[in-house]
Amino acid sequence: MLKNYLAAAALLLGLSACSTGKSAEEGNGDGNDSIKANETMTTNYNPADTNSVKVEVETTLGSFTVLLYGDTPRPRDNFVKLVKEVYYDGTLFHRVINEFMVQAGDPDSKTAAPGQQLGAGGPDYTIDAEFVFPKHFHKRGALAAARQGDQVNPTKASSGSQFYIVTGKKVSEGELASMEKYLEQSALQSRFSQLAQARMSEVRDMQAKGDQAGLEKLQQELIAEAEAYVAEHPVKVTDEMKEAYSTVGGTPHLDNNYTVFGEVIKGMETVDKIEKVETDRGDRPKEDVRIISMKIID
């Protein structure tokens, strides 16, 4: 069934490759439409600088502190840079979904009018994905980078500024039992999407020629490559993940798809307050929740 699904997805990718839309759950970030032949999305597990950094965030509903992980240096360094530039000061939590997450970091939100749609703003760059999985996952309190969807962003590059904090909910035993299979399928689909996007010029050429046999052959080739890659890079649900998701909760369906680069270590009750505010149909709080300031602390 998975092979059939991926084969159908290949045709879908070919037919809709020009789309730039984002799904409701995707964050901001300029997508990269191509990948190098053997490019992976994993981080350097031995970065030169492994120092973690603490950042205090003051909001109109209280304060909280995040720890930026030392083994995700690219998003860590970018976040520190923006904090020092007071980039986040005055921005809103522009997207809030109960039992899911709270999102901020859009510079356009600083002067946004009531009801204005937000989520497309940011600097003119993206950050390479750094998945340190399963060590870092989407447990409650996780700090992660928003991004555009896979179709326009197959390398899963992160937004240059937008981030979210996971609130989530507890995961049942049944959901835990099926999580590993879901992660495997997600990894297969993700890798297949990357490979298909990298060869999209071939897909379009065969479509223009009406070469259905060529398309089917390419689909099977990419399916085999995706399966081989996932077999060499298996995804596992660890005991730590099972414990966290069943006791404090989170959003496991985002694992290995978005860069987790920190966590809330103090003041999660403030995040809970933000999560519970009343929102409009676009998930923007009806009363602005603003970041007053951020500062690096010892």
Task: Dig out the tokens for 106 from the structure.
Answer: 């859009």
Residue 48 confidence class, pLDDT cut points 50, 70, 90 = low
Average pLDDT of the segment spanning 96-107: 98
Q: Is the torsion defined by CA of 196, 202, 207, 213 positive or negative? A: negative
pLDDT at 194: 81
pLDDT at 47: 62
Which residues contact residue 159 at a Cβ distance below 8 angstroms, ignoring those fewer than 6 apart?
27, 28, 29, 105, 122, 126, 127, 145, 146, 147, 148
Average pLDDT of the segment spanning 105-123: 95
Q: Is the torsion defined by CA of 264, 266, 272, 275 positive or negative? A: negative
Which residues contact residue 227 at a Cβ distance below 8 angstroms, ignoring those fewer than 6 apart?
188
pLDDT at 109: 97
CA 226, chain centre distance (Å):
21
pLDDT at 27: 44
Torsion region of 62: left, alpha or beta (phi above 0 gives left; psi -120 to 50 gives alpha): left
Residue pLDDT, tens place only, 16-35 = 333 323 333 344 333 222 22
The residue behind tokens 């447990």 is 139
Amino acid identity of residue 149, one-letter, is G
Strongest mean pLDDT among 20-29, 90-99, 227-236: 90-99
CA 293, chain centre distance (Å):
24
d(CA 24, CA 283): 10
Amino acid identity of residue 23, one-letter, is S
pLDDT at 262: 98
pLDDT at 178: 86
Share of the chain above pLDDT 70, in %: 84
- Pair 284, 108: CB distance under 8 Å: no
Complete domains list, the chain, with CATH? 2-8+26-297 (2.40.100.10)
Q: Considering the chain, what is the average pLDDT of its residues?
A: 85
CA angle 203, 206, 209 (to 5 degrees): 150
pTM for this prediction: 0.78
- How far is the first Cα of the chain from the last one, in angstroms, to the nearest whole number? 52
Residue 46 confidence class, pLDDT cut points 50, 70, 90 = low
Burial 57-95 (b: 16+ CB within 10 A, else e): bbbebeebbbbbbebbbbbbebbeebbeeebbbebbbbb
Average pLDDT of the segment spanning 88-92: 98
Residue pLDDT, tens place only, 184-201 = 888 888 888 888 888 989
From 74-83, 200-209, 263-272, the region with the lowest mean pLDDT? 200-209
pLDDT at 14: 42
Strand, coil or helix: 99: coil
Nearest residue to 58 via CA among 298, 283, 289, 260? 289
Residue 150 confidence class, pLDDT cut points 50, 70, 90 = confident
pLDDT at 177: 81
On the question of pLDDT at 45 being above 70, the answer is: no
pLDDT at 41: 39
Which residues contact residue 217 at a Cβ distance below 8 angstroms, ignoring those fewer than 6 apart?
none
182 vs 246 pLDDT, higher one: 246
Compute the chain's Rg from CA coordinates. Answer: 20
On the question of pLDDT at 4 being above 50, the answer is: no
- Name the H helices within 16-101: 73-84
Helix 200-209 / helix 2-15 crossing angle, nearest 10 deg: 80
Share of the chain above pLDDT 90, in %: 65
